[in-house]
């Protein structure tokens, strides 16, 4: 099953995101509070700026809730299970790279 076509733009307003995912804006705002994966960044005016990645996360969540009929609690658990498979988060990656750097510096000192 293929989802909706996401236009090739950097950012989308909540209204644009709402139309793409076919979910009312008030539901998107509610999901922001419940699911960290659906929290868009905000611009200087405080307006939500959704990226393609944000919209893809919303579509996954919509599928879990509406197609697979998970509860909010069940969807949260399912998303937590998926995280390791989808790669490291930015903070985890930075932590990993800092650790790797520390090990490489130590190895270099040992070799000198």
Q: How much is the pLDDT for 2?
A: 66
pTM above 0.85, yes or no: no
Instruction: Name the residue among 34, 27, 39, 40 with its Cα closest to residue 72.
Output: 34
- CATH architecture type of domain 14-86: Orthogonal Bundle (1.10)
Q: Report the C-alpha gap between 91 and 63 in whole angstroms.
A: 27
**When comparing pLDDT for 102 and 3, which is higher?**
102
Q: How much is the pLDDT for 109?
A: 86
Q: How much is the pLDDT for 86?
A: 53
- Asked if 79 and 86 count as a contact pair (C-beta separation under 8 A), the reply is no
**When comparing pLDDT for 3 and 40, which is higher?**
40
For the segment 22-52, what is each residue's pLDDT rounded down to a tens digit? 999 999 999 999 998 899 999 999 999 999 9
Which residues contact residue 47 at a Cβ distance below 8 angstroms, ignoring those fewer than 6 apart? 13, 14
Every domain of the chain and the residues it spans: 14-86
Q: How much is the pLDDT for 83?
A: 55
- Say if residue 34 is exposed, middle or buried (CB neighbours under 10 Å; 0-12, 13-18, 19+): middle
For the segment 52-99, what is each residue's pLDDT rounded down to a tens digit? 999 999 999 999 999 999 999 999 988 887 655 555 566 777 877 888
Q: Report the C-alpha gap between 35 and 71 in whole angstroms.
A: 13
């Amino acid at each position: 099953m293929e989802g909706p076509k996401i236009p090739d733009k950097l950012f989308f307003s909540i209204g644009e995101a709402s139309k793409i995912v076919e979910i009312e804006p008030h539901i998107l705002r509610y999901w922001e509070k419940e699911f960290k994966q659906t929290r868009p960044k905000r611009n200087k005016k405080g307006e939500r700026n959704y990226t393609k990645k944000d919209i893809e996360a919303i579509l996954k969540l919509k599928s879990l809730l509406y197609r697979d009929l998970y509860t909010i609690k069940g969807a949260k658990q399912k998303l937590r299970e998926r995280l390791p498979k989808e790669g490291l988060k930015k903070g985890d990656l930075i932590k990993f790279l800092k650790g790797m750097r520390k090990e490489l510096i130590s190895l270099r000192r040992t070799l000198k």
